[in-house]
């Protein structure tokens, strides 16, 4: 539980009057985030708001655009003291997002924004939770699938490293097959659209599903019996992968573990970090680097390739 000590004097900001939804940076920020992440981000902003006020306070009532570097430094220190590193990083990322929207809404000056966010990132926390799937497990999942749609889901989740929210946002128009198969991933989590090339196997599974689905415009993944172009939810992704895991006798994993497997495999194959970052849609290479699970063996092998002359 967060401690209940009064906030530092550096955080003394009087609550403001509520703004209209289209002028409130908190609401504008959350509206642009993936639906599945909004609750966690709002909770992070609520923790920051309580740190500022010293009492529970709705994030919408905080005049975020008045924060100065000293405020942000004090907030960072509070997050480091009270929460796990991952939770603290989420809170600071949410704060940056709200301040960025404050600039766009004309509530905050760009230079003030740049000064406010110029703080050290919160370190620690090690590698992200979860696990990477082995090639044999992936094959078992595909064999356990009972429909072309299920196989296409597994192939895209692993072969393109898509988040489950990104999978269900895909429309048929976002898929390009042929000599250079690619999926255009719709923007989510505050990122830009990105094109992700598909490996041949994933493209083949996707092509078979589209042949079954038909070319009716609409969501790529949709109900089959009876056929409808209604968009499926990210809960459907979770439920489908869980059923396949049980059927294939594969150890429990989360949908995000498919993404972890994709990123880990690319790094293990020697793909450079900047390229993997671009494919993943990460804003920071630090986030991508946390998926590098090659461990000590990879570090030793990499160091062994370095030539240091030893003249005699």
Average pLDDT, the chain: 86
pLDDT of residue 269: 86
Lowest-confidence region among 15-19, 22-26, 229-233, 257-261? 15-19
What are the φ and ψ backbone dihedral angles of 304, each rounded to 5 degrees? Answer: -65, -20
CB burial class (10 A; 0-12, 13-18, 19+) of residue 77?
middle
Question: Which residues are within 8 A (CB) of 97 and not within 5 positions of it... i.e. 6 or more apart?
Answer: 29, 33, 41, 190
Report the share of the chain in percent with pLDDT over 70: 88
Torsion of CA 99, 104, 109, 110, to 10 degrees: 80
3 has pLDDT over 50: no
SS3 content of the chain, % helix, strand, coil (to 5): 55, 5, 40
For residue range 215-268, list pLDDT tens digits in order: 999 999 999 888 899 999 989 999 999 999 999 999 999 999 999 999 988 988
Confidence at 11, pLDDT banded by 50, 70, 90: low
98 has pLDDT over 80: yes
Prediction pTM value: 0.61
pLDDT of residue 127: 58
Confidence at 307, pLDDT banded by 50, 70, 90: low
**C-alpha closest to that of 94 among 161, 186, 27:** 27
Q: What is the CA radius of gyration of the chain?
A: 23
310 has pLDDT over 70: no
Q: Exposure pattern of 100-133 as b/e (b: 16+ CB <10 Å)?
A: bbbbeeebbeeebbeebeebeebeeeeeeebebb
| Token pair in block for residue 244 | 């396949």
CA distances from 80 to 4, 83, 118, 306 (A): 15, 6, 16, 37
CB distance 210 to 204 below 8 Å:
no
For each of the domains in the chain, give its residue range(s) and CATH number, in order of start. Answer: 9-116 (no CATH), 135-294 (1.10.443.10)
CB atoms near residue 242 (< 10 Å) = 14
What are the φ and ψ backbone dihedral angles of 270, each rounded to 5 degrees? Answer: 90, 10
65 has pLDDT over 90: yes
For residue range 133-188, list pLDDT tens digits in order: 888 999 999 999 999 999 999 999 999 999 988 999 999 999 999 899 999 997 65
CB distance 291 to 267 below 8 Å:
yes
Active site residues per annotation: 163, 189, 256, 259, 282, 291
Mean pLDDT within 32-55: 88
For residue range 182-214, list pLDDT tens digits in order: 999 976 544 578 899 999 999 999 999 999 999
The beta strands (E) that lie in the chain are given as 175-176, 182-185, 194-197
pLDDT of residue 264: 87
Angle subtended by helix axes 148-159 and 135-144, to nearest 10: 160
């Amino acid at each position: 539980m967060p401690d209940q000590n009064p906030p530092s004097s550096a955080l003394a900001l009087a609550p403001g009057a509520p703004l209209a939804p289209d002028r409130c940076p908190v609401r504008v920020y959350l509206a642009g985030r993936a639906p599945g992440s909004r609750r966690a981000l709002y909770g992070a902003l609520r923790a920051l708001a309580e740190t500022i006020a010293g009492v529970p306070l709705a994030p919408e009532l905080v005049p975020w655009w008045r924060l100065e570097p000293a405020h942000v430094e004090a907030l960072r220190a509070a997050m480091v003291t009270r929460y796990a590193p991952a939770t603290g990083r989420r809170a600071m990322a949410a704060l940056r997002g709200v301040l960025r929207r404050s600039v766009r809404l004309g509530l905050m000056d760009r230079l003030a924004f740049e000064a406010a966010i110029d703080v050290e990132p919160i370190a620690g926390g090690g590698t992200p939770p979860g696990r990477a799937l082995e090639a044999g497990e992936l094959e078992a999942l595909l064999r356990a699938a009972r429909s072309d749609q299920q196989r296409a889901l597994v192939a895209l989740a692993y072969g393109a490293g898509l988040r489950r929210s990104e999978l269900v946002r895909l429309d048929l128009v976002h898929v390009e097959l042929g000599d250079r198969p690619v999926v255009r991933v719709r923007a989510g989590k505050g990122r830009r659209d990105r094109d992700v090339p598909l490996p041949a196997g994933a493209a083949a599974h996707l092509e078979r599903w589209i042949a079954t689905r038909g070319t009716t415009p609409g969501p790529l993944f949709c109900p089959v019996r009876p056929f409808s172009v209604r968009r499926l939810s990210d809960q459907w992704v979770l439920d489908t992968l869980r059923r396949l895991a049980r059927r294939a006798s594969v150890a429990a994993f989360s949908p995000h573990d498919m993404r972890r497997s994709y990123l880990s495999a690319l790094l293990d194959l020697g793909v450079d970090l900047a390229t993997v970052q671009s494919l993943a849609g990460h804003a920071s290479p630090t986030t991508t680097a946390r998926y590098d699970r090659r461990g000590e063996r990879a570090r030793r092998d990499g160091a062994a390739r370095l030539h240091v002359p030893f003249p005699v």
